[in-house]
Amino acid sequence: MKLILFLFWRDIINKLSSNSTFKLQLKLNLNFSNEHLDERESSQIRSIGSVRLFKKENFKDVLSYFISSLYLTQDNYSTFYVKDVILTYNICYEDSILNNPKLIKKNSLNELIDNPSKKMQKNKYNLKISVKNLPLTTDLYLWGNIKTFKGEYPYQFDLKETKILISNEGNTSDIFNYIISIRGFKFKEKPILIHKVSVTDKNFKFIHLNFTDISYDLNFPDSFVRTIDNNQYVYEKGELVLSQKRKKSSILY
């Protein structure tokens, strides 16, 4: 991926002016091998991640975003042959309203933790994620290096909320950082923890997705319920035991 992006920068982006803005998206031309299909039917193009705005100096940001998007979708396409890697782009010239966007600048961590959805570029497209690429425990010490901004961790039930950042800088096995808001309550005298998680790149610039973990037995952090959009996953000791999708139904008369 790095080599492909380097060639794209060399042949196209480096020829733009320093203040030029461009839209960019990664796509894969996949071969769904089937002897009963001709080449056109067995080959399909899939978008990886969404269209995003970048500038000339954003090479590392683009590479990080592409790698993260590939990591989140790899299990959906790992059995298919990649015929081509496609970079689709559109240059925003001087008369374009997109030429001077409010690109994300490096905010302080305090600003990020207060309201990450307002401080980051949010992926408005649904990513096909592979849930096993996310941490399969609610023990946040196993997610990375913790920095507490509000409250305490481990969470104390006399607190309204705890907010933390989890970074994985230098850890090549995990390409994500996390911003997590923790709240607790008691149901029939049983303590319940709710983790609202934003998955970001390692620079805390982009939110890749949001999800919620519900820990219903604090003695077993590997047993929990995870909700991503309309999908719900139930884990017991780190193993997926149930998955279901919530759907809207029409009113019955």
Indicate whether 38 and 135 sit together in one domain: no
pLDDT digits 0-9 by tens, 14-47: 988 888 888 899 988 888 665 544 555 567 888 8
pLDDT digits 0-9 by tens, 204-232: 877 888 899 999 888 999 999 999 888 88
pLDDT digits 0-9 by tens, 82-141: 888 899 988 876 544 444 444 444 444 454 445 544 444 444 333 344 555 788 999 999
CA 241 vs CA 128, 194, 221, 230, 231: distances in Å: 20, 20, 15, 17, 14
Domain membership flag for residue 198:
yes
Domain of residue 237, residue span? 131-245
- Element housing 181 (H / E): strand 177-187
In this structure, which amino acid lies at residue 222?
Answer: D
Domain membership flag for residue 250:
no
Domain membership flag for residue 32:
yes
